[in-house]
Amino acid sequence: MTDATETRTPDSRPTGGLSAQYQPGEVEQRRYERWVSEGYFTADPKSDKPPFTIVIPPPNVTGSLHVGHALDHTIQDTLVRLKRMQGFEVLWLPGMDHAGIATQNVVERQLAAQQLSRHDLGREAFVERVWEWKAESGGKILGQMRRLGDSVDWSRERFTMDEGLSRAVQTIFKRMYDDGLIYRANRIINWCPRCLTALSDIEVEHTEDEGELVSIRYGEGENSIVVATTRAETMLGDTAVAVHPDDERYKHLVGTEVELPLTGRRIPIVADEHVDPSFGTGAVKVTPAHDPNDFEIGQRHGLPSPAIMDERAIITVPGPFEGLDRYEARPAIVAALREEGRIVAEKRPYLHSVGHCSRCKTTVEPRLSLQWFVNTKPLAQAAGDAVRDGRVKIEPVELSKRYFAWVDNMHDWCISRQLWWGHRIPVWYGPAGEIVCVGPDEQPPSGEGWTQDEDVLDTWFSSGLWPFSTLGWPEQTADLEKFYPTSVLVTGYDILFFWVARMMMFGLYAMDGKQPFDVVNLHGMVRDQFGKKMSKSFGNVVDPLDWIERYGADATRFTLARGANPGSDVPISEEWCQGSRNFCNKLWNATRFALMNGATVDGPLPAQSELSAIDRWILSRLQHVTAEVDGYFAAYEYAKVCDALYHFAWDDVCDWYLELSKPVLAEGSAATQRVLGHVLDQLLRLLHPVIPFVTEELWIALTGGETVMTAPWPTVDRALIDDAAEDELAALQKVVTEVRRFRADQGLKPGQRVTAALTGLGNVGIDAHETLIRSLARLDAPGADFATTATLAVTGGITVDLDTRGAIDVAAERARLEKDRAAAEKEATQCRAKLGNEAFVGKAPEAVVAKIKDRLAAAEADLVRIAAALEALPAS
């Protein structure tokens, strides 16, 4: 039975405990706490139901709910609520990522405010301090997930640094090390001089920055050679100049030496096929310790690799530039070269791609460093094959190309980080150069001179294990047996490379070729209503918690889901969220109306022969929309799901069915009361995955059931599809709509009645509905003094003759329409002029041209409508 207290309206009609208005704040927390306490979110590995599993993309422990999270979680929650109703044993597993760099930065900033550094505390005390911060301040996003309505299994919450996941990290590191898939080497890596750690390629954001391209002459006379660079300071570390072996301009110089300016060092000129002879001068300076391509050239030619900067990007080469920051050294070196007459050309500003640390935005410095790497080639091959052979499906399928472009060209992954917060690399070094990798059940070597590697693993290393480590791996747990592989991974296309590829590699490797998930469902980025990227500088950032507070979680979720087309960016606006709130209110009012008018849910539906055409029509429409929604969900078309249900609920149910049914409900028609109860019952079930709170409150009030969350998902009953009833009601709607359009065009007030004669209704079998038509269209029957002043011809041979005398101020209405026509003609003229301008059409973006065409079409439609309205006006 319902847990709501029954209330009655002043006329003593029951409302099922529903207040006059929907107040989300009074419903959401109460309902969520009950869901959790009743265990509705908790998965049972012993269940004989088919499994459906989603592991939540773990938010950073430092994070809070932003609009991207809100979209991602809305989609996931929609899927898991759908699958519960469809009879699956659902596990939606929550958790957080320890976010190595971000979390360490937070705690170090706190220490800095106390004039302390992590080195003042020491490693052990600093890590303890981070754990204290996590306990006190970290993970606030978990509470915010509750506000959104996330139906996650809180009993299985995980953290990438908890004991079980740490064991998984140590196990896979040891296994991959023993298999030769993890190695240590001196290689060029991305280095952040601010965070003082190595970064992987995916942690580097590239932007087009303004710089300076400087051409420098090395050597003298005929044996000189010119190179161009945007990083003049790195010349201090040059150990060669490279040219293409087939470049005739430089063949005579290959094998010779040239003096490196400002240093007095002589360096060789080498031939290497990597050099592009068509770029710049066709000669490149080679700085093996500070450029990945130069490092490869240096390896091929046996060149030395001197480092010229320390970890903070300070010049360390003895001489006049020693101690300068790289950005201080750059202009100083250019000035010194200019003074020696070595500058051949300077180009500024010069736009070029520059890498930045994704956390702190500092410009990344390529740096030769001894680091740990994953040999990704065999792992990436397996990850690509899993998609190619169909074990994993990427939705939308067109984004598979981006996936293949990444995994088929993946570089070895630098996994060591110079941090203290994270999974410490389980490798020990002995006094005689021994290296021992230790597994989770092994004791590290003891004795004098043995030390553990100081570095920790990249955060993405542990999160890459997420689909199986969270289920108990490396132990063979009941959860792992039941819920792996997971069913769907929902994530933004922007981390297809960051996270998806890594989970694929690790899952296939650790789980004997079993993919970590069956489907990768990629969604786009949330943007404003104009398609503009959200940014604090633009002032268009949306705080979903603010929307939840003002409009409710359901309205926020519906707004996000209604814009979520597969792989496409998601536009939203506050106005649309207000519209979603209005939709929730519409459902609330419709359910209250149904309860007040005796809607029932008990027992079977009446036989078709006992139902009116209106009842048969709404039941038929319900079957169609149920089938549509099933199809859209199967294709991950959340926007279309929302759109179909919105229009069915608002248009078919509320605007038409409730209005058409009022007369028979007033008479106490048991058949219509049963149909109304059934339609609302099924509609609330269909809507529940997207807007869970309001549907739960309404469904319980309507049905007296325990929770809609476990109610069976609606199925299509083909016996209820009635084409004849749909045709009949379509004709009725056409008549009413045409009259309403005429009334609006003539400026008639909604409640103002007009006399009209209706002929031809029998042509399409709706003559029995004349009374309803007159009621909906506000039409009175003609009297003795009836005179036709306007005629509407409706399809099917139906004619509506209207007498508008006294209902319309003809002169004022004609003036208004003429003004509207002038505005429409002006708009159409301007649009035609732009589209007739070949220069404009040829240069303007396609989207701009399309928008002008849309404006022209709208203006021309307005002109047709206004002309018809003027013609219909009676003579003044």
In single-letter form, the type of residue at position 49 comes to: K
**Which stretches within 272-325 are classed as H helix?**
292-301
At residue 5, the pLDDT reads 38
Distance CA(571)–CA(576), nearest Å, equals: 10
**Which of 110, 311, 163, 99 is closest to 121 using CA atoms?**
110
At residue 13, the pLDDT reads 65
Q: How many CA atoms lie within 13 A of 835 on its CB side?
A: 16
Q: How many CA atoms lie within 13 A of 672 on its CB side?
A: 21
Q: List the domain boundaries for the chain.
A: 197-365, 544-721, 729-872
Beta-strand relationship, 427-429 and 451-452: antiparallel
Burial (Cβ within 10 Å: 0-12, 13-18, ≥19) of residue 512: exposed
At residue 477, the pLDDT reads 97
In single-letter form, the type of residue at position 276 comes to: D
- Which positions ≥6 away from 839 have C-beta within 8 Å? none
Tell me which CATH code domain 544-721 carries. 1.10.730.10
User: Which pLDDT band, with edges at 50, 70 and 90, does 566 fall under?
Assistant: confident
CA distances from 419 to 119, 454, 801 (A): 12, 8, 83
Model pLDDT for residues 355-398, shown as the tens digit of each residue = 999 878 999 999 999 999 999 999 999 999 999 999 999 999 99
Looking at residues 715-738, what average pLDDT do you find?
96
User: Which pLDDT band, with edges at 50, 70 and 90, does 866 fall under?
Assistant: confident
24, two tokens: 């989300």
At residue 4, the pLDDT reads 38
Question: Positive or negative, the Cα torsion across 476, 481, 483, 488?
Answer: positive
User: Which pLDDT band, with edges at 50, 70 and 90, does 1 fall under?
Assistant: very low
769, two tokens: 């509905």
Distance CA(658)–CA(651), nearest Å, equals: 10
CA distances from 541 to 61, 535, 577, 751 (A): 22, 6, 14, 42
- Which positions ≥6 away from 740 have C-beta within 8 Å? 777
Query: Is the model's pLDDT at 6 over the cut of 60?
Result: no
Query: Domain 197-365's class?
Result: alpha beta
- Which positions ≥6 away from 83 have C-beta within 8 Å? 52, 90, 487
Say if residue 251 carries a ligand binding annotation. no
At residue 747, the pLDDT reads 82
Looking at residues 10-36, what average pLDDT do you find?
86
The pairs formed by 638-643 with CB atoms below 8 angstroms and a separation of 24 or more are: 638/75, 638/78, 638/561, 638/562, 638/564, 638/565, 638/690, 639/561, 639/562, 639/563, 639/564, 639/565, 640/565, 641/561, 641/690, 642/558, 642/561, 642/562, 642/690, 643/562
Looking at residues 580-609, what average pLDDT do you find?
96
Give 60 or 869, the one with higher predicted confidence.
Answer: 60
At residue 536, the pLDDT reads 66
